[in-house]
Amino acid sequence: METRANYVMVGSFVLLLVFGLIGFVIWLANFQINTEVKRFDIFFRGSVTGLATGSPVRYSGVRVGEVIFIGLDHDDPNRVRALVEVDAATPVKTDTYATLNLAGLTGGLYVLLSGGSREAPMLEATSEEKRAIIPSRSSDLESVISSAPELLDGAILLLNRANDVLSDSNRADIAATIKNAREISEAFVENRDKVEMLINDASVTMNNLSEATGSLKETAQSIQTNLESLTTSANQTLKAFETTAGTVDGSVQDVSADLRVVLQKLDSTVSSMDRAASQLEGLIAENREPINDFTTTGLYEVSNVMIEARELISVLQRITTEVQRDPARFIFGDQQQGYEAQ
């Protein structure tokens, strides 16, 4: 009887477990049927190693869906198309973008949706698209992965240089430098008193230098004062020069006015002389023949007349002299006789 009772209990438990499992499956199927989802395409450039079907899709860290397909883009083999399915209530906006992020230390990747401002409209497929496309961006992880070869080359170069620095000869030089530094430290400790005296002397020198700097500052101030006075005097001189220049300018303007009047009169005189010369040329042209006759015959006769006139003038001068000297003799001559005594 006990064995039969155990069988009944086991059978009842198995039946109860089967019915419970069937109920859970029905409930889960009903939940998935009632859940509305949206599908989007995301195109990634470069490697998507670690991303697989079933990888989660997160929005600001919250899981909202999963990747249901991964494949190459037929139009551009350099791109990878990932078909994702997310909850219909997820606010996928026109400014939402997708990045790939590392899921823990397992090496798996997940799709992270970011962005989406409140004012932006919901992302919808265009007439040319089968599904709406979420734009992708390079994540920090992708930047690190893409720059990994360069970082590795730099690390190798750094290690090579470190090996060169730590070569046998350089290690010997470094050891010698450390030894010299130790000797200098020991000498410094041994000559501490001299070093203190040197420091004190340096302090006194700095004080003297400070005093000299103060004197130099006073001298500079005095020079600045003198320069200001000199500048003031120069400004006054320039003002006086400007006043004198204005006076001279006025005098020059007056002289220029007088000179302009003189030049106008001179111009009138030259014009008059020009007219007189023209008239003289006309007169000479009209009397050319008489002038030629005068220069050929009349001039000779005039010369003879001038000679005779000169002789006449000489005779008249002698007569005048004799009249002035002795008028009686000139009038009566030498015919007068003196009284003779008887």
What is the torsional sign of CA 252, 258, 260, 263? negative
Radius of gyration of the chain (CA): 67
Higher pLDDT, 184 or 130: 130
Higher pLDDT, 102 or 202: 102
Q: Please give the Cα distance from 183 to 242 (Å, whole number).
A: 77
Q: At 7, which helix (H) or strand (E)? A: helix 2-34
Per domain, the residue ranges of the chain are 38-146, 150-184
pLDDT at position 236 over 80 = no
pLDDT bin (cut points 50, 70, 90) of residue 13 is confident
In the predicted model, what is the mean pLDDT of the chain? 74
pLDDT at position 172 over 50 = yes
CA distances from 84 to 64, 88, 117 (A): 10, 12, 21
pLDDT bin (cut points 50, 70, 90) of residue 255 is very low
pLDDT at position 252 over 50 = no
Q: What is the pLDDT of residues 59-88, one digit of tens each?
A: 988 999 999 999 998 888 889 999 999 998
What is the torsional sign of CA 215, 216, 221, 225? positive
Mean pLDDT for the stretch of residues 42-55? 88
Backbone angles phi, psi at 56, to 5 degrees: -70, 155
Q: Please give the Cα distance from 247 to 242 (Å, whole number).
A: 9
Q: So what's the pLDDT on residue 70? A: 93
Q: So what's the pLDDT on residue 304? A: 63
Range among 106-110, 293-297, 329-333 rated most confident: 106-110
Q: Please give the Cα distance from 108 to 66 (Å, whole number).
A: 13
Judged by DSSP in three states, 93 sits in strand
Q: What residues form DSSP beta bridges with 45? A: 79
pLDDT bin (cut points 50, 70, 90) of residue 96 is very high
Q: Please give the Cα distance from 78 to 104 (Å, whole number).
A: 27
pLDDT bin (cut points 50, 70, 90) of residue 238 is low
Q: Please give the Cα distance from 290 to 272 (Å, whole number).
A: 27
pLDDT at position 154 over 80 = yes
User: Structure pTM?
Assistant: 0.38
Write out the E strands in the chain: 37-45, 56-59, 62-72, 79-87, 96-103, 108-115, 133-134
Q: Please give the Cα distance from 179 to 187 (Å, whole number).
A: 12
Mean pLDDT for the stretch of residues 195-217? 73
Mean pLDDT for the stretch of residues 215-229? 70
Q: What is the pLDDT of residues 266-275, one digit of tens each?
A: 566 657 666 6
